Homo-oligomer: A and B are copies of this chain.
Amino acid sequence: MTTHRFEPTRYWNTIGSHAPALRVSDGDTIITRTIDAHGSDRHGRQVSDRPNPQTGPFYVDGAEPGDTLAVHLARLSPDRPDGFMRDRVAPNVVDPDFVATMPDSHLLIWDIDAAAGIATPREPFPTLGKLALPLDPMIGCFGVAPALGQAISTATSGPHGGNMDYRGFRAGATVYFPVAVEGALFFIGDGHAVQGDGEIVGTGIETSFEVEFTVRVLKGKRTGWPRGENATDIFTVGNARPLDQAVQHATTEMLRWLTTDYGLTFAEASVLLGQCVEYDLGNIYDPAYTMVCRLAKRWLPR
């Protein structure tokens, strides 16, 4: 098990079968940096185009189509003292006849105090003043190269992952992606210091990160859509429009997981989900929306 320190020099606006930036082994840990959604690094220098430029790809030895790549997010650390956000909810999350009543949108700068663990707006708000939001760093966009030679825009998402903007992708989570190409080719970027459900203003507090994660190859393990777990829950991720279809993908994937890996009958899996499931909203801003199907581990059989 090696720990790699990798300093990226180029970034990608698609997730696809690009030339590997680094080759690592099953079980290795990578410490690297991500730049913000608009392409600025920790010095505030624009070093890439939009949207959501990705660090990577990381080629993981031994990963082959039909396997699953497990990525454990060990640490997500904002690495510069500021970030930005949009200050108006997106037209697609309000009633159509309400859109014309909304004011224009602006970029707001926030100061990020990593030591204190809070973000505050550079300019105080008229009523909310210097609103102090607790940092809760998360990854907006990551995933593995898709099949068929596709190169998918980092503005959207799919079975390969992508721009899911789910706040559950925070340090401590392990995420499982379906491997579609040799080496898996893992990409990561688009850190948010803070974000509400849905990314409904089109941004979180966008900034650059230092990230540390460990990759493992689960040989012969088939996954249809991204899965994840943390200390208390397991979850599955569906990416599609409308949200109804994202729910269908995530729920189907969870049913497969519960009946295949946990030995539940279909009725048992249905009962557990029927009475105990929770759904979380990821991105509802971009071309594909994200819904997460989540179940507390306390309900799972040992």
Contacts and interface: CB of A to CB of B under 8 A. Distances in A.
Interface of A: 13-14, 16, 49, 85-100, 102-103, 106, 108, 121, 125-128, 131, 133, 148-153, 194-201, 203-205, 240-245, 247-249, 251-252, 255, 262-268, 270-281, 284, 287, 289, 291, 299, 301
Contacts of A91: 96-97, 99-100
Given A205-B275, A271-B108, A281-B279, A102 B248 contact: no
Given A151-B150, A284-B244, A200 B133 contact: no
A197 B277 contact: yes
A60 B18 CA distance: 26
Given A195-B275, A244-B289, A264-B127, A148 B98 contact: no
State the number of copies, please: 4
A92 B245 CA distance: 9
Given A89-B274, A148-B14, A248 B196 contact: no
In the A-B complex, list the 7 residue pairs whose CB atoms are closest, starting with the nearest. A201-B274, A91-B96, A242-B242, A243-B243, A99-B99, A196-B277, A151-B151
A237 B184 CA distance: 35
14 contacts: A16-B151, A85-B274, A89-B274, A92-B96, A106-B267, A125-B267, A127-B265, A127-B301, A128-B264, A199-B274, A243-B243, A243-B247, A243-B291, A279-B280
